[in-house]
Amino acid sequence: MKISGRDVLLAIDVQNDFCTGGALAVPGGEKVVPAINRIAQRFANVVLTQDWHPRDHVSFAANHAARRPFETVELDYGTQVLWPTHCVQGSAGAEFHRDLDIVGPSLVVRKGFRRGIDSYSAFYENDRKTPTGLLGYLHERELKTVFVAGLALDFCVRYSAEDARKAGLEVVVVEDACRGIDLDGSIAATHKSFKALGIAVVGFEALL
């Protein structure tokens, strides 16, 4: 595939807590790093996202009495999965993986920093209406096609890809530069959603 100056690589949450040994490790999460490093060299525009939670964040199971990670609760904005405490602001777990080699990303988007609401998508928080500002940035830069990679395929990658597509952008998910959690069939549901929305799924070698 040909990459142009109107394309952007969106690398989702390549952080220590989502890699082996982290608080919310995605199986094989660190394996996305070499692929992302390679394809990032093709892009003039690279955006990184970073989960950036306060310690008292509403999505942490530890902040709900008698609740365990991966249970769900109903919040003002809908059903919320409760997660292990992860990507706490300023912690080592919130840092980007040490081998991620992105020189001078165009933008770093921090999400999930409001105590009372989680944020999977790079574009909107989980109330589906509070924007991160990324969409406005892409419009101002006249970037038309979003290539999405990172962690986790069936949560933050999925929500980011869907929101980009619903906003009228062309979207390509680089599947082998992603890893998933697969919670209750979430990977199969992700592929079904991508197909329904017309989101392309490719291997990273298509971009080399």
- Which residues form the catalytic set? 13, 111, 156
Pairing of strands 72-75, 78-81: antiparallel
* Closest among 132, 186, 187 to 164, alpha carbons compared: 132
Asked whether the bond before 25 is cis by omega within 30 degrees of 0, the reply is no
Cβ pair 157, 150 in contact under 8 A: yes
Pick from 87, 23, 80: nearest CA to 49: 87
Distance CA 159, CA 138 (A): 17
What values do phi and psi take at 112, rounded to 5?
75, 20
Q: Quote the tokens at residue 106.
A: 């165009």
208 and 42 Cβ atoms separated by less than 8 Å: yes
Instruction: Return all residues near 205 (Cβ < 8 A) that are at least 6 apart.
Output: none
Q: What is the CA radius of gyration of the chain?
A: 16
